[in-house]
Structure 1
Amino acid sequence: MCAHYRPPEKALFLERWSAEPPADWTKADLWPGYAGPFLRRPRAADAGDEAVGPMEAVTGTFGLLPHWAKDESLAKRTYNARSETAAEKPSFRDAWKRAQHCIIPAAAIYEPDWRSGKAVPTRIERTDGVDLGIAGLWDWNAALNMHSMTMLTVNADEHELMRNYHKPGDEKRMVVILPRGLYSDWLDAPAGSSMEFMRQFPADRLVATAELRTSKSTG
């Protein structure tokens, strides 16, 4: 699971993702209910406009807000979606059924390491320094006039790295980190193929670093 992550630096966003960063994204650290960037296929791409890039970056609330959500408080419970049940849960099933796939870019994610008996915030990133491309779902809430997003997760009980995080006794979960070669496939995949992408990212391609302190920075 992931309730805290750091998006890429704005100055590097275009270079790394070939999409202009949203102008209204301001926070350097993101928590449920905060707004950050996600990437999807541009709506104009359906019309075959060659001037439109392969991905567009959109600002969305971290925590999915389906059309029936009356306020933003739901985001604090919908920032992660269990891939095994997303097709059934009211908060996620419409976005799953419509294959509203997105990629949530992250320089790093943070998880609590409880092995010492206390929660130690731990930064997790790729060993090669490349941004994480996290598989997600996006939605639009007309009443709230906002986009939103959620990170999809899989079981990590047997993952050599991610099984070390969260409280003892809890099921271990991890976000779905996509290999770069599958970005386009994920964005274009129909709903019936979504589960094919729900895989663990190799532990030897991730590195974890304990941090003495993290804070909710406003950037």
Structure 2
Amino acid sequence: MCANFKPLTLSQLQQLGLPQIPFEYLEEVYPSYKTPLLFKSEHGLEWREVLFGLVPKWAEDVSTSKRTYNARYETIFEKPSFQDAAYKCKFGVIPVTEFYESKYIENKPQRWGVRRKDGKAFFIAAIYEICKINNEIIRSAAMLTMDAIDHPMMKEFHEPGDVKRSIVVIPHEHLDHWLNLKQPHQMTQFMQGFPVEEFECSHVPKAKIEKPTPQLNMFDLF
């Protein structure tokens, strides 16, 4: 399960030929922090600033985002927090430089980072939602996860005996297809482990993170 990551950098953005991101964002993200989400509108590819942790339409506050940052694709159509966004095909991606997982060495957790070997940003599959709480528009998203018991890299993370899970990487060449899905169950074709030969991982000790500051939201609607 992914609870910590670094969004793509400006140089990676240019490398991928993506539209400019029209707002500032943090260099490292945790649940309930804000991060860029890329999705497809009638105008083409667009960015939105979202909470990392999906806030369903029925929520009374945003505190749920601290628990809903990952959505198991196997049960996504059953869980009240995610089913509405999933059935309505609110699919997007969260582009990242690196994400972090705990690896247990001699029964002690170490923070390990997973990244592409070529240094490019990669797209993590996400679902997003928009709601209004106390007259404030809230945009939020959750990363999709899948079983990782057979994945050569991801099965090594998390505490021994815990369920092994992995984020879902959308290949660069399939981004448009993912963002244009019209039938919710078509998402299943993308639920595959990322190619381990294109990625690497290493121990990355945790650095001191500055307290996040409010970000300017430049859009009123998705």
Q: Could you state the TM-score of these two structures normalised by the residue count of structure 2?
A: 0.89
Seen in structure 2, the aligned counterparts of structure 1 residues 13 and 217 have a Cα distance that, compared at 3 Å, is farther
Structure 1 residue 11 displacement after superposition: 5.3
Seen in structure 2, the aligned counterparts of structure 1 residues 141 and 29 have a Cα distance that, compared at 3 Å, is same
Distance 1:81 1:29 in 2: 20
Question: 1:134 is paired with a residue of what secondary structure?
Answer: strand
Distance 1:214 1:86 in 2: 33
| Aligned counterpart in structure 2 of residue 121 of structure 1, from 89, 111, 117 | 111
Q: How does 1:1-219 map to 2 (within 5 A)?
A: 1-10=1-10, 12-23=12-23, 25-42=24-41, 44-45=42-43, 54-143=44-133, 144-190=136-182, 191-218=184-211
Q: Is the 1:6–1:30 contact (alpha carbons within 8 Å) kept by the matching residues of 2?
A: yes
Distance 1:11 1:217 in 2: 22
Letter in 2 for 1:154: M
Question: 1:107 is paired with a residue of what secondary structure?
Answer: strand
Distance 2:124 2:107 in 1: 29
Q: Is the 2:154–2:164 contact (alpha carbons within 8 Å) kept by the matching residues of 1?
A: yes
Q: Is the 1:26–1:218 contact (alpha carbons within 8 Å) kept by the matching residues of 2?
A: no
Structure 1 residue 16 displacement after superposition: 2.7
Structure 1 residue 12 displacement after superposition: 4.4
Distance 1:180 1:138 in 2: 20
Q: 1:81-133 deviations in whole A, cap 9, x for unaligned?
A: 00000011000000000000001100000001113311111110011211110
User: Which structure 1 segments of 5+ residues have no match?
Assistant: 46-53
Query: Which structure dedicates a bigger proportion of its chain to strand?
Result: 2
Letter in 2 for 1:7: P
Distance 1:17 1:99 in 2: 25
Question: 1:26 is paired with a residue of what secondary structure?
Answer: coil
Seen in structure 2, the aligned counterparts of structure 1 residues 166 and 215 have a Cα distance that, compared at 3 Å, is farther
Distance 1:161 1:11 in 2: 27
Q: Is the 2:123–2:172 contact (alpha carbons within 8 Å) kept by the matching residues of 1?
A: yes
Over the matched positions of the two proteins, sequence identity in percent amounts to: 31
User: Which structure 2 segments of 5+ residues have no match?
Assistant: 213-222
Distance 1:60 1:20 in 2: 16
Question: 1:216 is paired with a residue of what secondary structure?
Answer: coil
Structure 1 residue 10 displacement after superposition: 3.6
Distance 2:11 2:193 in 1: 30
Structure 1 residue 158 displacement after superposition: 1.0
Letter in 1 for 2:107: G
Number of aligned pairs?
Answer: 209
C-alpha RMSD of matched pairs (Å)? 1.5
Q: Is the 1:82–1:154 contact (alpha carbons within 8 Å) kept by the matching residues of 2?
A: yes
Q: Could you state the TM-score of these two structures normalised by the residue count of structure 1?
A: 0.90
